[in-house]
Amino acid sequence: MQTIEDNTLKALVCRALDAVPRAYAPYSHFQVGAAVLAGSGRIYDGVNVENASYPAGICAERNAIAHAIGSGERHVLAIAVCGGRDGDVSGDCFPCGICRQVMREFCNPDECLVLVVRSAESYRTFTLADLLPQSFGPDAPGLRSLD
């Protein structure tokens, strides 16, 4: 498993926490912030953005990943996620299944860290493989690459 410096993890956690108030959640009132540590060492953040047509919304994790990919990144080393009703992040906020699958596209599941954040000092760390065992990804046998 990769080693990420404590100060880098702290910065990742703080970026996710700082993003929460920017979430657009007028329907569920469940605000989520996420931050991605990309292979370049840069951190990208994102928030959930709801829509009156519910399926048109996007989760914070996918928003952060899209921000990174749109900036030219192709590899995710870690992601921090936090959220709660009306911005209260005191409980665990795990990524949904779709977000886990999108993470799988851009990281090694055995090495990519997923930080479930309650505060700057309190978070739980998992690998993506812990949260998405036996996953299907871009390295699947027989899958054609678009390159």
Q: What are the catalytic residues?
A: 61
Question: Where does the chain have alpha helices with state H?
Answer: 6-19, 60-70, 97-106, 128-131
Residue keyed to tokens 């605000």: 31
Question: Where does 20-96 have alpha helices with state H?
Answer: 60-70
Measured distance CA(29)–CA(66) in Å, rounded: 23
Contact 109, 67 (CB under 8 A): no
Q: Which of 73, 110, 80 is nearest to 95 (CA)?
A: 80
Label the pairing between strands 76-85 and 113-117: parallel
